Amino acid sequence: MADPATPEPKGPSRLLHDRRWRAVIAQAAAFALVAALLACAGLNMARNLERAGIASGFGFLDQVAGFEISQTLIEYSRASTYARAFWVGLLNTLAVSAVCIAASTVLGFLLGLLRLSPNWLAARLAGVYVEVVRNVPLLLQILFWYIAVLNPLPPPRQALDLGGVAYLCNRGLVLPWPQWERGGLAVGLALAAGLALAWGFAAWARRRRVRTGRSLPVWRLGALLAALPPALAWALADARVEWSIPALSGFNFRGGGTVEPEFIALALALTLYTAGFIAENVRAGIQAVPRGQIEAAASLGLRPWRVMRLVVVPQAMRVIIPPLTSQHMTLVKNSSLAVVIGYPDLMSVFAGTTLNQTGQAVEIIAITMLVYLAVSIVISLIMNWYNDAMALKGR
């Protein structure tokens, strides 16, 4: 309590005795200090670039790249620009990340369930797998798959025959590949619409079951809804597709499509490594479900697999999803290790070759950092939305 005999401060000194104003002044001073440091760093960088004769800006993106890229998802040639090379690297990164996120999630859930299996052998084998892959550096696993497993494969003439339509050799996995003559875009868009329609129907059926207690054949009707739009688009657009079947010609295969060894090695290493961490997240989530919930479900006569699917997993997902989100984001960032085996991802194509040729280090590193930040934010938003949906479902 202030002494009544002490006069109250007036003027500017009064602000310094107010706790709120002191907090505002401290924050303003901290902001000014950070801004001054950033300004000094920017001026110093500009002087160093000028002294080195390097022009700043993003005009280099319109220049001709002049280098080849071994694996591309879009059209690219030596005469393409650096901007085109950036998109090639980005799409390659997103492709391997999407494949590995889906595969590692499925494998991680299976391993997590096996870790809790009453079968002694299955549980111990899953435990050994998890401990091995989690304690071996990811870089070593990538090199193992690329150097020790894929490089020793036979050449195309002695390729491993996979059913007469696919072949595995030291140049990669050669598969039949579709070649759309017309209607491919319409069928693809219709398929996406069908999947969205099936997902919406499943959500509606789930809400209806909660409200009325009546269930619908969600899987059958959902499959029908997903297949109907692309079938209609195929018929209306008179779509034509021909399958290119690989065949040995000389010292290599002609036709089909080739999945490069670098992609296979990176996908295997990322998938198996991340699945080990996801398995532990799944195990922890399932063990967090109260034992009474499982016993109550079993007392109703539900079979073990239905207890797991209908009772345990929905409740465990609220514990599993937050660390699962971190694993997905970490997987995308770990894909940058592809540079060690020459897979043309964003780091290799843009932050590697493009940076070496142009010298625009600041701009290229800034773009690369923003890309990884944006991808991580998108994954986080999607998983947070799914987490909220699962929380509402579990109420």
Helical ranges in the chain per DSSP H: 12-16, 19-52, 82-115, 120-135, 138-143, 184-212, 218-236, 261-287, 291-299, 304-307, 313-334, 346-348, 355-358, 361-393
Residue 381 lies in a domain: yes
DSSP secondary-structure letter at 7?
A: P
Domain that holds residue 45: 20-52
Q: What pLDDT score was predicted for residue 4?
A: 55
Mean pLDDT of 188-204: 87
**Residue 10, pLDDT score:** 56
How many structural domains does the chain have?
3
Q: How far is it, in rounded angstroms, from Cα 108 to Cα 273?
A: 10
- Reduced to 3 states (helix: H, G, I; strand: E, B; else coil), residue 377 is helix
Structure confidence by residue, pLDDT tens digits, 67-88? 898 888 889 988 899 999 999 9
Question: Within 10 A of 346 (CB to CB), how many other CB atoms are there?
Answer: 27
360 with 218, same domain? no
Is 67 within the bounds of a domain? Answer: no
Q: Mark whether 340 and 260 lie in a shared domain.
A: yes
What percent of the chain is modeled with pLDDT above 70? 92
Sign of CA dihedral 347, 263, 97, 95: positive
Residues 252 and 320 in one domain: yes
Whether residue 107 is found in the same domain as residue 144:
yes
Please report whether residue 73 resides in a domain: no
Report residue 1's pLDDT band, with 50, 70 and 90 as the boundaries: very low
231, 139: one domain: no
Q: What is the pTM of this model?
A: 0.81
Asked if 40 and 124 sit in the same domain, the reply is: no
C-alpha 231 chain-centroid distance: 30
Residue 188 has pLDDT above 50, yes or no: yes
Q: Judge if 261 and 375 occupy the same domain.
A: yes
227 or 41: which carries more pLDDT confidence? 227
